[in-house]
Amino acid sequence: MGSSSSRLDRVPGAKDLMEETGFSETNILCLYDRFEVLDREERGYLRLEDFEAIQQLAVNPIGDRIIGAFVFPGRETLDFPSFVRVLAHFRPTDTTWSRSGSQPEPANSRTRKLRFAFSLYDQDGDGKISRAELTEMLQAMLGMQVTDEQLQSIVGRAIQEADLDRDGAISFDEFKKMAASGQTGLKSVSSIMYRTKQQQQQQQYICGEGGTEQVHLKHSCQTLMFIFC
Amino acid sequence: MLLMLLLLLTAGTGTGAGTGAGTGTGAPPLRGPALRSSPPVPASPSASPPLLLLPKPRAEYGAPGVASARSAAEEPAGGGGEEAGEQHHHHGGGFRVVQWEWSYVQTPYIIAIWLLVASVAKILFHFSQRFTTVVPESCMLILLGLVLGGIVLIANKKQLYQLEPALFFLFLLPTIVGDAGYFMPARLFFDNLGAILMYAVVGTLWNAFCTGFSLYAAKLVGVIDERVHADLLDFLLFGALVSAVDPVAVLAVFEEVHVNDTLFIIVFGESLVNDAVTVVLYKVYISFVEVGAENVQTVDYFKGVASFLIVSIGGTLVGLVFAVLLGFITRFTKKVRIIEPLFVFLLVYLAYLTAELFSLSAILSMTFCGIGANKYVEANISQKSRTTVKYTMKTLASIAETIIFIFLGISAVDKTKWAWDTGLVSCTLIFIFIFRAMGVIGQTWVLNRFRLVPLDKIDQVVMSYGGLRGAVAFALVVLLDGEQVRAKDYFVATTIVVVFFTVMFQGLTIKPLVKWLKVPRSTSRKPTINEEIHERAFDHILTAVEDIAGLQGYHHWRDKWEQFDKNYLSKLLLRKSVYRKSELWEAYQKINIRDAISVIDQGGNVLTSARLSLPSMTSRASFPEVTNVTNYLRENGSGVCLDLQVIDNVPGAKVEEDMETHHVLAENLYKPRRRYQSAYSRHFMPLGEKERQDREVFQRNMKSRMETFKSTRHKRHKKERSLKKRRGSDSKEDGNEKPRRNVSWQDKDPVVVPVESEEEKGEHSDPEKEKEEDEGITFVARKAETPKIRPKSVPAALEGCHSPPAAPYSPTSEDSHLPWKGGVGSPPPCVSVEATKIIPVDLQQAWNQSISSLESISSPPAPAEPVHPRVSALSRLGGPRPASYTPPGSLAGSTSSVGAQVAQGSFCFPEKKEEEEEEEEEEEEGALQEMRPLMSSLRPPGAMPPPPQPPPGSAPGSGKRRNPCVYLRSFVTAPPPPPPPPPPPPPGDSRSRGPTQL
C-alpha cells in the first residue's frame, strides 16, 4: 500500500505509536479515521461529550466507566496517541513477548489487560475494589433487576470468594487470581472485527472529505481484534 | 408419557431387532399403544429378510442367543403353563388360570431384555476402574456386540438383529442429539460458531469429494477389485456418507478424553452441524444415481446447492420455531409441574420429526431447538423438573448410545451383507484419514488468520485424529438401494471397517495421544460468582470499546442480540416472576445451592466453622466478616438455604453416639405410623416418606421444646404447682382456674371439644397425670437446659410465653438416669450453645437473628424450617413419643408458646411482602419448595400446607390467643389417633420406659 504510507503522514506521531503499541499501520489509520469521526468539531482532541455522543455507548450499563478510562479525570481531553494507547490494551496478547525482557510490559499483556479492567472497578484508584465499589459496579450492570438485598448478598459472596487476605476488599492480585482461575469467565473470544460497507459509507458521509481514500481502508480494520487475556 | 416415549423407543428396538415375529406369525392383538406405535416396516430392503424369516418362530428361538435364549428358556415354561391351563380346563372348565401369551408380549419383552443386556454390560465394564480408563466404553460395547452377534449367528445361521436405519434415525439418534443439543454450552458454541461452520461445511464437502474422487481414481488404477461395480457417482455417494464425522462416536470418545472445551466444542459442533451437508449430499447423489449419471443436468447441481441451503437453514429455523414454542409453553406450566419435563421431550423430539418430515436436517433442527430453548425452559420449569429433564435425557441418551454400539457390533457379524474387498477397505481408510488431516490443516490455517486464539498444531492433530465415523454412516449405507448401487455390499463392509477402525483403534489411542501431546485438558472447576460478574463486566467493556473504536464486531452483535433478547424474547418466553430475576442472581443461587449440597454431602452434620466457609474456597479458620453469616441468613430468606441447623451440632462423641441410637430407635418406631398418612396423587408429588416423617418429627420437636420451657418451669415449682396453675400462667386472662380455661377454649373454637374431653379425662386422674408429667420432663431432660441459653437468642419466644424468668437449671435425678444423657458437663447439643462456640463474638448479633428466625419456623411461609435430620434426632432425644403420651397440660402449654412463637416469628421474619404479591410469592415458594429437597431432602416444604399445622403465619395479627387452638386442633385431628389411650404407667416404670418407648 504505497498510498497508505503517505496518508500515514496525516497521523501525528504515527511511527512512534506503532512501535509503542504494536498496532499495524492500517490499524493506526483505521483508528485515526475513527478518531476523526468522533472528533466532530475537528479540534484534534476528544472531549467527554464526544464519547457521550456515541449512541451504543449510552445504552451500555458501564459505558461511563469506560469513558472514564479513556478520559482521565484530571484532564478533560484526549488526544490521538492517548486514544491509541488505551485501545492498545485490547490487542491480542503477543505470544512472542517474553517476561524476561527489560522493556516495560506492553499494554496488551495479560496483566495490563486485567489492570485495565481492574481500574474500571476501582473507581477511587486506591488499588482495591472495596465493597462499595463492587456494589456500585454491579448495580450499574444489573440495574433494577435485583433488589438491594440480593445485590448485597452477591457482593458479599463475591468478596468472600476472592478476598484471600481477608481485608474485606479485592486487591489487584486477588482479582488476577480470580481471573486466572476462572477460565471460562475470561475465555478468550474469537472475534473478527470488520466494518460493514454500510458503516463505511456512513463514516464517509459523516466525514465528508477524504472519502475516496477511505474506501481503501475497507478491510483494514479486519485485523484489529480486541480481546481479554 | 415419558414411559410412552420409552416404549416408543423400545418398540422400535424390538422391531428393529429383527425378530419381527409380530408381523409374521403371532399376530399379537394391537392392544397397547407401544405396539401400535412401533415403527413401520423398515424402509430398507435389508430389513426384509428378517421379516420374512419367521414362519416358524419356534425354530428360530430354540437357540442360545441372548434374547432368543431367553425366549427359548421361556418356551418350556410356557408349555408347562399351558398344560397347567389345560388341567384347569379339565377341572374347572372354560377359564384358564395361567396362559402363555408370548406372542402378545414378545416385542416389548425382547426390547426390555435388550435394554437390560445393554445396561448390565455397562455395569460390568465399570467394574474395573483401571480397565475403563484405558479402553473407551464404546469399544467394549462394540466388542460385546460382536460376541453377541457371533453367538446368535452360530446358533441361528442367520443374523436376527441388526441396526435398522429407521430405528436408528427415528429413535436412537434423536435421544442422543436431543441430549447434546439441550445441554450444549451455548456460549461456547456460538463463540466458536465460525470455526464449527467452517469445519462442518467446507471440511465435510472436502472430505466427501476428495474421498469419492480418490476412490474412483484408485478404481481406475486398479487398486480396487473389478468386482466392485461402482462408477464415479457411487464412489462420490460413498465418500459423502463415510466422510461425515459422527456425533455419537465423537461424543462417546471425547467425553472420556476430556480435552479442553474449545477443542471439544469444535469437533463435536462440527459433527452435529455437518449433518446438513451429509443429508444433502446423500440425497443429491441418491437422486443422481436413480436418474443415472448421464441424465444429470447442470441445473441439478444448482438444485443441489439450493437444497443444501434449504435443508440447513430450514432445519435450523424449524428448530428455532420449536424452541420458541417450547419456551412459550413452559411459561404456563405452573399448575402442572408434574408434566413439565414432558413438554421438553416432546417438543424437542417433534422438532426432530418435523424436520425429518420436510426432509430438512433433523439433527440441526433438534440441536438448535435444544440450544435455543434451554435458557428459557430452564428458567421457567421447576428445579425438580430440571433434574428430571436432565436425568431422563442422560439416561435415554446413554442407553441409546449403548444400544447403537452393541448393534453396530452385532450387525458386523452378518455375513450376508458383507462383501470384502481389501483394496476398497484399505484405500478408504487411508483416504479418509489423509483427507481429514489435510482438510483440518488447511481450514485451520485459514481460520487462524481470523481467530484470536489460534488453533495450534496439537489441536489440529487431535482434530484430525478425532474425526470418528460412526453409526450415522452405517445407517446411511445400509439404507442404500442394492438395486441401484450394486457395490452396496462392498460399501457396507467398508463402512463397518471404517467405523470400527475409527471408534476402536482411534478411540483407544486418542487418550494416550492426548496425554502424550499434552493437550490442555478441561478441568472441572467450580463456578464462582466472581467469574460470573467479571464475565459480564468484560462483555460490557469489550462492547463499549468496540463502540468507541467504531467497529461492529462480535461483541457488538452479541450485545444487540442480548438487548433484543431482554426486550422482546424474554418477555415473551419467560414467566413474569422469572423475567424480573437477574441472571446473575440465578447464578448466585445456583452456586449457593451447590455449596449447600456439598456441605451436606461432606457430612455436614459435624460442621466445623472451617467447613462452614465455602467449600469452593480455600478453607479458612473462621468467618472473615459478619456479612458472611448474614448472607447465609439471607439465603435462608430467599430460598437458597444453607442449612443452618447443620451448624448447630458439634456434639461430643458420646452424645452423638447416643443420638445415633435414638435416631435408629425412633425411626423404627415412626414407621408404622406413617402408613396411615400415605396418600397418592397423580398430579402432585406426594411428600416423601422422609419429609412426612420429618414433619411429624418437627412437630414433636417443637412440642418438646415447648415442653422444655414448661418442664423447667414445672420443675421449679414442681412440688407446689399444679397443672392448672401452669396453664394459668400460660394465658394470663384465663386465670388459673381450670373450668374457666375450658370455657374460654370452647368459646373460641368448638372443634377442640374432643380434645377437651380427653384432657378432662386426663385431669380426672391427677396422679396419672403427674406421672406423665414426670415422664415428659424425663424426656426433655436434655432440652431443659436450653432456656438457660435461649433468652439470649430467643427473647421473643420467651416473652410470648409469659413465662416466669428462667431459673438456673439443675439436673434432676431423672436426667442422670437417662442413657443418652451424656456427661452432664458436656454442652448440650443445642443450637445456641454451639453457635456461640463457633461463631466469633462479633457474629453474635447475626446468630441471634438467625436463631430467632429458626425459632419462627412454625410459620410455614418461612422458608427455613430447620428440620434437619440432626434436629429431628435432637427432638427425639428431647421428647419423642407418640402423641398419646403428651400430657394435656404440657400440650396446652406448648401450644400456647408455639402460638406465641408463631406470632413472633411471623412478625420478625422478613416475609412481610407476602400480602403484596400473592402470585409472586406463591411462585417463589414453589421455587423454594423445589429447591428444598436439594438442600436436604428432609426439609418439610413450606409451600405445601403442612397438614397438622395450618399456617398460623397467615393470620399473624390474631395473636397467640387464637393460634394455640388452631394448632391444638390440627394436632389432635390430623395425626392418626394414638394407638392406646395413655396407660397409667406404674410409678417406678416411667423412667425405664422412656428409652424403650422411643
* pLDDT tens digits, B7-39: 444 444 444 343 333 333 333 333 333 333 334
Q: Can you spell out the DSSP letters for B336-402?
A: GGGGHHHHHHHHHHHHHHHHHHTTS-HHHHHHHHHHHHHHHHHHHS-HHHHHHHHHHHHHHHHHHHH
Q: Which residue of A has its CA nearest to B910?
A: A149
- Is the pLDDT reported for residue B360 higher than 60? yes
| Per-residue H/E/C for B680-723 | CCCCCCCCCHHHHHHHHHHHHHHHHHHHHHHHHHHHHCCCCCCH
Q: Does B591 touch chain A (CB under 8 A)?
A: yes
B584 closest CB neighbour out of A54, A154, A228 = A154
- The stretch A185-206 carries a mean pLDDT of 35
What is the distance in angstroms between the Cα of B552 and the nearest Cα belonging to chain A?
6
Return the HEC string of B742-805.
Answer: HHHHHHHCHHHHHHHHHHHHHHHCHHHHHHHHHHHHHHCCCHHHHHHHHHHHCHHHHHHHCCCC
Q: Does B584 touch chain A (CB under 8 A)?
A: yes
pLDDT of B831 reads 39
| R_g over Cα of chain B | 35
Q: Which is more confident, B900 or B602?
A: B602
- Higher per-residue pLDDT: A118 or B703: A118
Mean pLDDT of chain B: 65
pLDDT, average across residues A162-168: 78
What integer is the mean pLDDT of A181-209? Answer: 36
Q: How confident is the model at residue A106 (pLDDT cuts 50, 70, 90)?
A: low
Angle, nearest 10°, between helix axes B888-908 and B689-716?
110
Chain A segment 126-145 residues within 8 A of B by beta carbon are 134, 137-138, 141-142, 145
Per-residue model confidence (pLDDT) at position B370: 92
The predicted model gives B555-581 an average pLDDT of: 78
Mean pLDDT, rounded, for B284-313? 83
Q: Tell me how far apart the alpha carbons of residues B866 and B491 are, in angstroms, rounded to a whole number.
A: 66
Mean pLDDT across the stretch A23-40? 77
In chain A, residues 31-70 whose CB comes closer than 8 Å to chain B = 31, 33-34, 37-38, 51, 54, 56-57, 59-63, 66, 70
Q: Using an 8 Å Cβ cutoff, are A52 and A119 in contact?
A: no
Name the residue with higher pLDDT: B655 or B112.
B112
3-state secondary structure B196-238: HHHHHHHHHHHHHHHHHHHHHHHHHHCCCCCCCCCCHHHHHHH
- Give me the percent of chain B exceeding a pLDDT of 70: 49
d(CA B561, nearest CA chain A) in Å: 13
Of A80, A86, A103, which is closest to residue A21 (Cα–Cα)?
A86
pLDDT of B667 above 80: no
pLDDT beyond 90 at A154: no
How high is the pLDDT of residue B351?
A: 94
Between B45 and B848, residue with greater pLDDT: B848
Instruction: Quote the pLDDT of residue B279.
Output: 82
Residue B529 has its nearest CB partner, among A154, A183, A203, at: A154
How far is the alpha carbon of A32 from chain B, nearest alpha carbon, in Å? Answer: 10
CB of A207 within 8 Å of a chain B CB? The answer is no
Tell me the shortest Cα–Cα distance from B73 to chain A, in angstroms. Answer: 55
Alpha helices in B826-939 (DSSP H): 831-838, 844-855, 869-878, 888-908, 918-935
Among A133-142, B169-178, B252-261, B941-950, name the one with the lowest average pLDDT. Answer: B941-950
Share of residues in chain A with pLDDT > 70 (%): 61
The pLDDT tens digits for B714-748 are: 555 544 444 444 444 444 444 444 444 444 443 44
Instruction: Say whether pLDDT at B222 is over 80.
Output: yes
pLDDT of B779 > 50? The answer is no
* Cβ-Cβ contacts under 8 Å, A187 against chain B: 188, 191, 261
Q: Are B329 and B343 in contact (CB under 8 A)?
A: yes
The answer on pLDDT for B985 being more than 80 is no
Strands A170-171 and A128-129: antiparallel
Measure in Å the smallest separation between the Cα of B914 and chain A Cα atoms.
16
pLDDT of amino acid B669: 52
CB spacing of B614 vs A161 below 8 angstroms: yes
More confident residue, B182 or B855: B182
In this predicted complex, what is the ipTM?
Answer: 0.76
Which region among B47-51, B223-227, B233-237 has the lowest average model confidence (pLDDT)?
Answer: B47-51
Highest averaged pLDDT of the listed ranges A90-104, B24-38, B60-74, B348-362: B348-362
pLDDT reading at B387 higher than 80: yes
- Pairs across A and B, CB distance < 8 A: 216
* Statement: residue B2 has pLDDT above 70: no
Measured in angstroms, the CA of B639 and the nearest CA of chain A are apart by 12
B465 compared with B894, residue with greater pLDDT: B465
Q: Is the pLDDT of residue B558 over 90?
A: no
Q: Per DSSP, what are the bridge partners of residue A128?
A: A171
Q: Which whole number is the average pLDDT over B483-511?
A: 88
* Contact assignment for A157 to B591 by CB distance below 8 Å: yes
Give the three-class secondary structure for B246.
coil
> Sorting pLDDT into bands at 50, 70 and 90, what band is B97?
confident
- Whether B220 has a pLDDT exceeding 60, the answer reads yes
Question: Which residue from A173, A179, A132, A182 is spatially nearest to A156, judged by alpha carbons?
Answer: A132
Q: Quick check: A224 and B188 CB within 8 A?
A: no
What's residue B59's pLDDT? 36
Highest mean pLDDT pick, B2-6, B229-233, B623-627: B229-233
Top mean pLDDT of B11-20, B405-414, B529-538, B756-765 is at B405-414
CB of B638 within 8 Å of a chain A CB? The answer is yes
Is pLDDT of A226 > 80?
Answer: no
As to burial, measured by CB atoms within 10 angstroms (0-12 exposed, 13-18 middle, 19+ buried), residue A73 is exposed
For residues B522 and B304, the model is more confident at: B304
B621 near A CB under 8 A: no
Predicted pLDDT at B354: 94
Whether residue A67 is predicted with pLDDT greater than 60 in this model: the reply is: yes
Select from A138, A190, A191 the Cβ nearest to the Cβ of B533: A138
Report the pLDDT value the prediction gives residue B710, as an integer from 0 to 100.
56
**In this structure, what DSSP letter does residue A170 have?**
E
**pLDDT-derived band at B55, boundaries 50, 70, 90:** very low
